[in-house]
Structure formats: structure tokens, C-alpha cells
Amino acid sequence: MLLPSGFARQHSWELTLLHRVLDGTVVLVALWLALEVYGVEPILHYKLAAVISIVSYSLLAEWYGLYKSWRVDSLWFEAKTIVIVWVLTCATLLAIGFLSKSSIGFSRVAVIIWAFTTPFMLVGLRAVIRYFIRHFRKQGFNTRSVAIVGGGKCAAKLMAIIARSPWMGLRVEGVYDDVSAATREQGAASVDALMAKVHEQVIDNIYITYPMKDEEKIRLLLERLADTTVSVNVVPDIFVSDLLQSRWRSIEDIPLISVFESPLFGANQFIKRMEDLLLGSLILILISPLLLAIAIAVRLTSPGPALFKQRRYGLNGQVIEVWKFRSMRVLEDGPNVPQATRNDPRVTKLGNFLRCTSLDELPQFFNVLQGTMSIVGPRPHAVAHNEEYRRLIHGYMLRHKVKPGITGWAQVNGWRGETDTTQKMEMRIKYDLDYINNWSLWLDLKIIMKTVFGGMRGKSAY
């Protein structure tokens, strides 16, 4: 049975884990074959070497981006990266052997066979995986819809490359431009039509091919696209500033700058999910008595349910249900949701305490285990607030390139609570985008520690 179109995208971190396991298996099998060929007993020394090599290779592979998407890159470039990572892995083993004076216990010939055969086997594995993935893409599975904005030779060349390379899994949905007489003849639709399709989430990637003399036109388009979660590539561009995780890429000999990209893909996505599952499960176990006590207190002190579920925007702008302990006498989730203010009559006495201490957010650890939220990330806002601020603040929707979090960089830096001015929300967004641009596991742990020991600061948290 063939995989459905969205399967790989929905399960990318599981597939990345599988790829890591396969690479580790190749390293292990290559060592076993080398020992079998040369007739060497697999004593403890070799088992330790296998473990060290697998761990070193995995860490170095992550550093060199070996588990990112190679959809538009050549096998040759991927193979060179594999060789570099393996050479550094061997150098690590040699250094450990030299410092521990344990190298004398190894068969030189068996180790050399292992060192030379492993990269060929790893490249071979990648070639096999590429063959099957490209086969599925040619059949129309695991594809990405592409829109090209602009015209001219660059756009024509890009379309030609995509057309003759079905293995990339890129499907040109249409060409868009300002509808003039010239572009009508080329069959281009308007940019307004493009924005409509982007908001309908039928386009995955946009390639902007305007000539560099149209700098202002590109800037205006990027400002409009900043209110979406679509991935944007400029072909080419050297002037764009304030980019989100921008990096150089290419399709054959056409240079691209990838803009508005999430840092959480491949290995990073896997690490983030493992962080959420492990820490989330541990925290839920530790706070379960507190959760029960708060739930009982909410029910006893005011009429209504213990939990309040509110629609908010999650990853890629998808609507999710966020869980909270009910802290108000009302359950507002409509098109107009007033923010809580000082001495807000809607807030119960217990709710005031829960909101000031952020204890009302604790049920969101269930959202974390569900996969709709992370422990750390930009705080989700009510849908009504999102629709209000996305029109007022440039780049507001870029915060939805990652999952929303229970705590975040903005919150531990004091930007929490009521945002009664646009400037306050702009500062919160500034910290959210700074977090996305500089994401790392260590930054997440730092934010968690600040939250635990310092709380989520904010004088306007009502």
C-alpha cells in the first residue's frame, strides 16, 4: 500500500528517528562484517568502539544537517557530507584510543576495513532511500505544492527544472504576478489570488522570481506573506533583512535564500518532541496531586466546569483547543474576547490567584502530550486576539512556525499578561521571534529553569 500524500510531513520526526536507527545499524553491521572477514573475535573493545562511533556519528550528523530534508539536493553533495561526518567520527575514535592507550587491543586490518566500508554502505543506504522516496514522489505521493511569483527567464528556468525533476515532489500550482497585459499573456494570476490560496493553505512553498530592480515589490510581497505560515524562497535576494531562520539553498544551479523557515525540522524536531514527551510526562506525574486539588477547589468555589477549553492558533496557524483551569465566571470563546484587566469582575477569587501564579495553565501539559503544544514556545492567543493583532503587527503570524508553549522567552522576560497597547504586544512578538531564531535545547532548558525558580514575570498578569 502506498503512503498517503501527507504521511511523511505528519510523521517527519518518526521517520528521522528511523533514519538514525538505520545509520547506526549500518555502522554496527559494517564492523561485524569486518571482524567476520578477518576472523577477529568481537571482544568488549569492539563493542565499546561501536557504541562510541554510533553516538559520535549521530551527534556530528546532526551538526552537519545530515537529517534535514534533501529533497532538492544532489546525492553527490549528500555523500560528501556523509564522508566528512564519518571521517570526523573516525578521528574521534582515534583520539579516544590514543588517550586511553587502548588502540593496541584492536586489529589494524579489521579496523581499516571497517573505516573504509562504512561510508560506502551509508551512502548506499541513502541511495536506496532516495530511490524509493523519489519513486513515490513520481507517483504523486509526499508532494509539495509550489507557487511562483514573478516571470521572466528565472521563473521559466525554475519551472523547467521542476518539470523535468518529478522526483523532487514539487508540483507547480500556478504562476502569479501583478496582472498586466504581459503577465496575462503568460497565464499569470494576480497576487491577490495567490494570497487567497495561501490563506486556504493549499500552497506549501512560494518562490519569488522578481528581478532585483523590483526590490520594493518584493518587500511589499514579503510583508503580506509574513501574515501567513507558508515557506517562502527568494530567487535570488541579497537585501532582505529580519529573516526568520534564513539560509542559502539551491535547486541545481539556481541560488535561493530560504526565508520564514522554522528551525524545528529533522533532528531538531525529534529532539524537541522528546523533550516534550519526557519532561511533560515527568512533570505531570509530579503535579498530579496539585492538579486534582485545584480541580476540586475550582468546582467548589464557583459554578461551572473545572476545565476551560479555548480555541487558539497552533502550529502553522491551525486552530487547536487549549486546556486551562477555569478562572472566570464566563466561558468566552467567540469572535470578541476581552482581555482580563485589573479587578476584572469576570475573574473569580480563586481564579485571580491561579492567573497570577500561572497555575491555571497547568492542564496544558496534557496538550503537550497530545502534540498540539510544547512546554516552551510562543504563548498561544485566543483566535479573536490573533485576528486582531495579525493586522496590526508585521510578522505576527511567524510565531506560528513552531508549536505554542506553556511558557516562553517573552514570558520569563516580563512580557506576560494584559497587552493594552500595541507596543506591548510588539515586544512580546519580538521576544517570540528571537526565541525561534535562536532555538536550542539549552535555551529551552534555560526558560524552563527561569519559569520554575522565577515564575513567569509580568506586572499586568491578571
pLDDT of residue 316: 84
pLDDT of residue 419: 65
Domain ranges of the chain: 7-138, 144-259, 267-454
Q: How far apart are CA 441 and CA 450, in angstroms?
A: 14
Which grid cell sits at 451? 519559569
pLDDT of residue 281: 93
pLDDT of residue 2: 41
Q: How many helices and strands, by DSSP H and E, does the chain display?
A: 16, 10
Mean pLDDT by 10 residues, the chain (462 residues): 44 68 91 86 84 91 75 73 91 86 79 92 89 72 82 81 78 78 58 87 88 84 87 70 58 68 73 90 93 92 87 87 84 59 73 84 93 93 81 85 92 77 87 88 90 64 48
**Are 232 and 222 within 8 A, CB to CB?**
yes
Q: Which CATH number fits domain 144-259: 3.40.50.970, 3.30.365.10, 3.40.50.720, 3.40.309.10?
A: 3.40.50.720
The CA-based dihedral angle spanning residues 177, 183, 186, 188, taken in that order and rounded to the nearest 10 degrees: 30
Bridge-based pairing of strands 319-325 and 307-313 is: antiparallel
Exposed / middle / buried, residue 13 (Cβ in 10 Å: 0-12, 13-18, 19+) = buried
**Are 5 and 140 within 8 A, CB to CB?**
yes
pLDDT of residue 344: 67
- Determine if the pTM surpasses 0.85: no
